[in-house]
């Protein structure tokens, strides 16, 4: 699918983006490990999350959709998954695949896991290595890539793991394996990554402890072999999806957009913090607690923005939002330097290189220095545009360049825009409802 975005006027309106993808994956998996029936409201029904649901069904979990975003899961208990009769296809879901490895590590059977072209290219060693130390075994393609065979064991060894990267996927995979091991499993992170796993498992009855480590790090400990209680999950709106209407509105003078019920967990709001530092006016309204997460309605008013220096320590709280931030930075006054973006090289695509190449093609002045992305803003002058960008099977790249098209002199096309359906079904309709001009280009 190829989409095209043309320059638009100010964006206005009230919207609600789909449910949080991270919490949606976890609500399905954790409910599967409970004893009894859990209910989920607001589940993101994108392709990534549905791939996780289908994989759990193949593992013997009864899952049913009861309405729009409403699902029930009949949990089988910790260690209760069944050997699958066919391959587990995780599609494009990196979170689903890596967390599923943690689940499967504690089961004494062999599973085969695969994914689409993008997922098969992504490195899995960062999860496979610690799980191997706990007793699971993996046989994959060169570079520890999918497809891979995963053989778990019932008597996993508890592990004290010092992670070289701040990754919620790595941390969560180890903690999920730790549920199946006697004793305490711990993960130490150099920077604190998103904490949905810890919050949700504690809510379901697991013993989870956290404490600071060093200046910005964190230690998380989990006690194995609990009996998890079924729960009612209310999935808030995804801040990583809200990033697109928020960023587009902030960069378009005269815009006034309200995005409802967004998760504002302190470990997920790096983009909003950065936009505010750039001069964006973002007002939180009706802040409240929903299912253990803080949510708020975000009122965004467009205006001039100023380039800033984004510290590396902020990366875990906004790792998925750098692509759209770089679009906004290209229109700001002055230079924006985004530091410490090594993790972007191992996402659905090499987002660091892809964004730099695409921005340059659209007329922006951009540089990469080591793991830093440097964008020299135009001071509000629209970029030239007039090009077609290959999204490289990456949903966030596709949506970011569609936002750019709305801010450019000439339309911007995006090839491979079908990737958007993995995380944000309804993206085009939502943005057009605010005043964007996104259309499908016929072959």
From 144, 95, 103, 120, select the one nearest 319 (Cα to Cα): 95
Going across the sheet that includes 2-6, the strands are 388-390, 412-415, 2-6, 437-441
Alpha helix segments (H runs only) across 167-321: 168-178, 196-203, 239-251, 270-277
128-141: buried (b, 16+ CB within 10 Å) or exposed (e) per residue? bebbeebbbebebe
Q: Which of 238, 320, 350, 371 is catalytic?
A: 320
Q: Please give the radius of gyration of the chain, using alpha carbons only, rounded to the nearest integer.
A: 21
- CA–CA–CA angle 389, 13, 49 (5° rounding): 55
**Any idea which residue has 């093609």 for tokens?**
361
- Let me know if 371 is a catalytic residue: no
Q: Classify residue 262 by its DSSP letter.
A: E
**CB-based contacts of 147: which residues, under 8 Å, 6+ apart?**
87, 112, 113, 114, 120, 140, 141
**Any idea which residue has 């260690």 for tokens?**
79
Report d(CA 40, CA 276) in Å as an integer: 33
Residue 31 tokens, joined:
């409910």
Question: Which residues carry out catalysis?
Answer: 320
């Amino acid at each position: 699918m190829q989409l095209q975005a043309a320059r638009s006027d100010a964006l206005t309106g009230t919207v609600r983006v789909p449910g949080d993808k991270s919490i949606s994956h976890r609500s399905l998996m954790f409910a599967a490990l409970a004893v009894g029936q859990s209910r989920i409201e607001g589940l993101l029904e994108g392709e990534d999350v549905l791939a996780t649901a289908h994989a759990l069904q193949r593992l013997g979990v009864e899952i049913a959709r009861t309405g729009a975003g409403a699902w029930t899961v009949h949990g089988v208990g910790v260690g209760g998954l069944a050997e699958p009769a066919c391959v587990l296809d995780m599609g494009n879901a990196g979170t689903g695949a890596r967390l599923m490895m943690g689940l499967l590590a504690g089961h004494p059977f062999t599973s085969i896991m695969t994914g689409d072209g993008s997922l098969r290219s992504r490195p899995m060693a960062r999860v496979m290595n610690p799980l191997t130390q706990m007793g699971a075994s993996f046989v994959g393609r060169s570079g520890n890539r999918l497809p891979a065979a995963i053989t778990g064991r019932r008597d996993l060894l508890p592990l004290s793991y010092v992670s070289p990267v701040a990754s919620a996927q790595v941390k969560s995979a180890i903690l999920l394996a730790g549920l199946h091991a006697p004793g305490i499993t711990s993960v130490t992170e150099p920077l604190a990554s998103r904490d949905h796993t810890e919050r949700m498992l504690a809510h379901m009855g697991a013993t989870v402890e956290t404490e600071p480590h060093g200046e910005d790090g964190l230690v998380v400990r989990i006690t194995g072999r609990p009996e998890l209680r079924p729960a009612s999950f209310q999935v808030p709106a995804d801040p990583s999806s809200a990033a697109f209407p928020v960023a587009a509105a902030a960069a378009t003078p005269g815009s006034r957009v309200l995005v409802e019920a967004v998760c504002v967990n302190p470990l997920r709001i790096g983009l909003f913090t950065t936009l505010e530092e750039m001069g964006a006016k973002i007002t939180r309204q009706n802040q409240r607690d929903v299912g253990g997460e803080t949510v708020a309605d975000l009122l965004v008013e467009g205006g001039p923005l100023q380039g800033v220096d984004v510290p590396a320590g902020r990366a875990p709280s906004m790792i998925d939002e750098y692509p759209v931030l770089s679009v906004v930075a290209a229109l700001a006054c002055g230079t924006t330097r985004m530091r410490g973006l090594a993790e972007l090289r191992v996402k659905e695509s090499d987002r660091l290189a892809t964004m730099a190449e695409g921005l340059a093609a659209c007329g922006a002045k951009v540089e990469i220095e080591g793991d830093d992305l440097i964008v020299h803003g135009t001071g509000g002058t629209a970029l030239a545009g007039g090009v077609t960008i290959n999204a490289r099977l990456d949903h966030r790249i596709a949506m970011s360049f569609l936002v750019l098209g709305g801010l450019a002199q000439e339309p911007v096309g995006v090839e491979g825009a079908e990737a958007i359906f993995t995380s944000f079904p309804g993206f085009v309709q939502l943005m057009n409802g605010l005043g964007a001009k996104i259309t499908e280009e016929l072959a």
